[in-house]
Structure 1
């Protein structure tokens, strides 16, 4: 990828890297005899869906709009789950859904009969809470104390209601197969007696199988063993794994300011608007040409976003040289959980969206303007 050819600011997906991830994921699903589907909440760049469809035949949605996007751009009906469904949206939601997972038995009782009136089969499931997760950040932990997501073992009936075909759980976040193994052990201990009553088990997302060092052999054997033991279809719906390390966010230094010895390079992007996970998770994005500070660092710069939020910045990086106004700052691994969560807070314009094609050409997919900001408001 030739960064100098990329207009700033812009999210840029590398098509060859995305295909590499998809090939690995496809091998896992074939060797394990399971189905892996795309989670829109992690990656919903629909201009790349023609490539995704070559390897993944389904997707998961958590809202009416995501389900419609699945139907229109993934060209299939969605595996739909939401913590709650809206009365005035449910009939349309059914049009776009092949599976509907309910967060509670109240929701199942309210809507199940309506699913039977759809003009196509809809398989219904219930989300459960295994009450175990090794995710350390509560914001991303569905099994945190008092979680609203899924039914706990104490709330389960002796027998599943007629009409529930599957069980869904999701308690991982950028986790490895050994974390999944621990979750499965807890899930089997709590919910194993229900598995003879269902046709499928959806193990949710958080399976970061495209991260370097991931033990794919262990994952495959773990899933095969579970599938064969209970004679159920197994579904995974990773978000991050699909687009992990497949692209960048290119930005440019607009100004350099200094206060009490702290230098800040102010960019034409915003952390709160364009990279919210860096503040929420929080995590430190990697930057080309920059490293973590040491006691010997002499060229430290904070990176400041372009909004008026006081906390819209990253603590200092070591660039090993003096930065100059007008030069590029390139953030790595910015395709998953970025565009899906961006805003136009403070009227800060959204970066362009682009693809670096397999032929090493830059394809601008979308650019944004004032109307995009105005039309979200009233």
Structure 2
């Protein structure tokens, strides 16, 4: 099943003028399609699969997520609270560094709490003991760096040289695992099964004496499981093998994979100018609405793009010279007021939006591509900007 083609076909039928601009539009049918695939992997393998809220925090779809996944994983207090209050399921929380003032609440919200280093675990042992004394039954894990890299770019490689994420496995001693029930590793980014298999093959001999004392292993995120070329049979076999040989629960934390090819960002042409090439000024900002366009960087696909047509450079309304989304071909010369949409914008866009330059946040809408039902969930407001300031 080609989820990208299915999504593109669905959004090609969507009338972009039905929503304000700019606006994120998420197709709940496409989200459910991904969740069904993940649920099938879980049912076949016994894996416990969590939605990574850092990628997609749209709690309007919490009941849908609850139907297919085990729970959520969080990167700090606010996401842990969101997972506990808006979703029904387990909550796993990991952060590179926890604050003492945050930890009591995080312990209350979380089923698993994963530390980045043994030092942090030992430092917070009294708080953990206190939480358990009042009934918080949290299981403690430790994130390790397997010292095996499969990253395709250093910026997104947690095992790159000098990485701060996880403790290098060669630096850990038996005493560091006292009071620890789980092992966490997250080494992938938008990757298939083979890199995970190679990572585990490299890691297992290093931890063979540790495995009997563990209750769970968390293989993190970065798994592009719904993609048609992903080796899901291989993943199922690996998880089954780990569970059978080592008597552990196995967790996966996909974020992007839960909502791949399920949303668009609708924009509008504000002006058309020319400076060595045709330029489109739009109400969609790379720096405010799609920061990964600049940070990654990457070029998002445009709905109904014509590759060999006249090329226009689309940029945002902010004063940042680099607020440029990319160069695109249009079937007809863009006119002021025309609508357009960027594809695959559910993940890592909504959660990263900001109001730099006073640029309004996009609206958020939920669409059902089967029934054509449309719900406008959120519209931008001056308070979005004001309440972030002093």
TM-score range, shorter chain: over 0.9
Q: 2:136 aligns with which of 104, 120, 123?
A: 120
Aligned length: 373
CA distance in 1, matches of 2:85, 2:306: 42
Match of 1:218 among 234, 249, 270: 234
C-alpha displacement at 1:320, in angstroms?
A: 3.8
C-alpha contact (below 8 Å) 2:358/2:385 kept by paired residues: yes
Q: Which residue of 2 aligns with 1:352?
A: 363
The equivalent of 2:171 in structure 1 is 155
Which runs of structure 2 are paired with 1:297-316 in the superposition (5 Å)? 297=308, 299-316=310-327
Distance 1:40 1:272 in 2: 21
Give the C-alpha shift of residue 377 in structure 1: 0.7
Aligned mate of 1:270, from 271, 282, 285 = 285
Secondary structure of 1:128's aligned partner: strand
Specify the SS of the correspondent of 2:177. coil
**Contact 1:112/1:163 (CA < 8 Å) preserved in 2?**
no
Q: Residues 26-65 of structure 1: CA distance to partner in whole angstroms, max 9, x if unpaired?
A: 0001101110011001111111111111111311111100
Aligned 8 A contact 1:67 1:77 in 2:
no
Structure 2 residues without counterparts, runs of 5 or longer: 1-13
What residue in structure 1 maps to residue 10 of structure 2? Answer: none
- The gaps in structure 1 that reach 5 residues or longer are none
CA contact (8 A) 2:51 2:258 kept: yes
Alignment RMSD (CA, Å)? 1.4
Question: Does residue 250 of the first structure (1) align with residue 262 of the second (2)?
Answer: no
Residue from 98, 102, 105 that aligns with 2:118: 105
Confirm or deny that 1:365 pairs with 2:381: no
For 1:154-303, list aligned pairs within 5 A: 154-260=170-276, 262-292=277-307, 297=308, 299-303=310-314
Separation in 1 of the partners of 2:122 and 2:272?
Answer: 59
Contact 1:71 1:78 in 2 (8 A): yes
TM score, norm. by length of structure 1: 0.95
For residues 360 and 133 of structure 1, the distance between their equivalents in structure 2, rounded to whole angstroms, comes to: 44
C-alpha distance in 2, partners of 1:132/1:320?
46
SS for the counterpart of 1:11 is: strand
The question of whether the paired residues in 2 share the 8 Å contact of 1:199 and 1:232 is answered with yes
**Separation (CA, whole Å) in 1 of partners of 2:57 and 2:202:** 31
Report the Cα distance in structure 1 between the residues aligned to 2:118 and 2:17, rounded to whole angstroms: 54
Is the CA contact (8 Å cut-off) linking 1:128 and 1:150 kept in structure 2? yes
- Counterpart secondary structure, 1:117: helix
Match of 1:81 in 2: 94
Secondary structure (helix, strand or coil) at the match of 1:142 reads: coil
Conserved 8 A contact 1:160-1:194: no
Cα distance in 2 for partners of 1:217, 1:360 equals: 34
Q: CA deviation at 1:212?
A: 2.6
User: Match of 1:225, SS?
Assistant: helix
Q: Is the 8 A contact 1:77 1:96 kept in 2?
A: no
CA contact (8 A) 1:137 1:281 kept: no
1:175-230 CA distance string (max 9 Å, x none): 10111111111221322321111100000000111123222112111221222121
Q: Distance in 2 between the 1:333 and 1:112 partners?
A: 42
After TM superposition, the score normalised by the length of structure 2 is 0.92
Deviation at 1:366, TM superposition (A): 0.7
Distance 2:67 2:88 in 1: 12
